[in-house]
Structure 1
Amino acid sequence: MVNVLREDAKLPRAQRRFLGDFNKPRVETYVGVKKQETGLRYADVLVIEEGNVAGGPPRVETFSFKSRNLAPLVENALEAQMKADANEALRKYGGALDIRRDGLQPLLRGGREVLVQRIRLVYEGGTLKPKDEHVLNVAVEATRESFPGVEVLFQ
């Protein structure tokens, strides 16, 4: 998935599948991020805007990859698992983050702390994905409604 994001970043903005909100996205893996509530954690992927946005903070998004067998889960169990994952991702990688990687400091324009605009929760697809599309869509939508700012995707 990291390679998919890096290739997506190379495309013209209008052709990107994941990073279309960025002018010049920089894809970084296992970046140390710190929050008062959760301490130091490592985001699977952090995407930060390299382009100059006049006067504003850089756009930052995080990606959390999950390899879970969701196929046997039905309705309430599937929704509960997705909501638990979204809550964890939001708690650890959402909101205000203190970016701990020194090499990214020049992009942060004057501070270590950034506000994450969106968290992408990416599940592995294939045989691990529930077969019933209706049940899956209901669970994804319920998760999005309960956790604005968290997007649920399948690889």
Structure 2
Amino acid sequence: MADDTTRATLERSGAGERSGGIASLVDEEVGLTRDVVEARLALVESEAMGPRLPRDVGVLERQRPSLEAPPPGAEGNPRWREYVAYYEKRLGELEQGKAVEGPLRWASYERMWGWFTRGLAFERFMVNVLREDAKLPRAQRRFLGDFDRPRIETNVGVKKPNSGLCYADVLLIEENEFSGWPRRVETFSFKSRDFSGLEREAVKAQMMEDAREALRKYGETLDIRRDSLHRFLRESSDVPVQRVRLVYEGGGLKPKKAKDLKAAVDATMREVLRVEILFQ
């Protein structure tokens, strides 16, 4: 578990402290280029459950937001500019007849953004945790004990026939090449998800959904799209993944009852093989 110091660091770097727009989320050091951030934000937006405006172009034109007239509470909020740009882009897509949902309402967009930025903060935190873990003697590592010399790569483009291009939060590759052995490859998926208000069955259902998605996108056999990694993969970019680690942010986001958490984790790992569930 994260100690009090690292937990406080994570909280300070989360949504409440990241007051900028998309540009403020770019972090080249962990692979969060602007293209990656925009692609991941688009995915989160498409899955957001908050209230949306209708797909009716006429209605959207009449309710078009203005940079000069933000609603109460949005004055001075840098995300209002992002929201106006997002709204205009979505309106343009609908005018072109594209099959997309109507835009999120402002309050829903702001809430979605908050969870998105919190998730990126947790990802940065976990990347640092893994890098520190890799420095330890192999027997003392929590996450990387199955590797001799783990290579930690962040936000790696991977493809599968049934999921298209996705970005693995972390791809681990064994740098030592053992003669006659397949090179070990694992992936990590990090999530900030609030389980605290869910009942046992709802926790299990959500965890099952997340684990199946992680396996579908980042497990089994992946086509690694980052050219610089191909030298570790012998002659093929298609590599088998030994394990997917799905790591949730813990603390106040965990289920309130420890037995509900254990039941959900145990059931998910029995059902979705090669996915390990962890809380940090």
Question: Structure 2 length as normaliser, TM-score?
Answer: 0.55
Which aligned segments of 4 or more residues in structure 1 are displaced greater than 3 angstroms?
none
Which runs of 5 or more structure 1 residues have no equivalent in the other structure?
none
How many residue pairs are counted as aligned between the two chains?
Answer: 155
**Residue equivalent to 1:41:** 166
Cα distance in 2 between the residues matched to 1:66 and 1:150:
14
- Equivalent position SS for 2:172: strand
Distance 2:159 2:132 in 1: 28
Within the candidate set 10, 14, 17, 2:142 is matched to 17
Q: Measure, in 2, the Cα distance between the counterparts of 1:9 and 1:132.
A: 32
1:117 aligns with 2:242: yes
**Is 2:243 the partner of 1:138?**
no
Structure showing the higher helix proportion among its residues: 2
Matching of residues 46-125 of structure 1 within 5 Å: 46-125=171-250
RMSD (CA atoms): 0.7
Larger radius of gyration: 2
**Separation (CA, whole Å) in 2 of partners of 1:51 and 1:96:** 20
1:85-136 deviation digits (Å, cap 9, x = unpaired): 0000000000000001011111101110110000000000111111211110
Instruction: For structure 2, list consecutive stretches of 5 or more residues without a partner in the other structure.
Output: 1-125
Identity over aligned pairs, percent: 65
Higher strand share: 1
SS at match of 1:46: strand
TM-score normalised to structure 1 length? 0.98
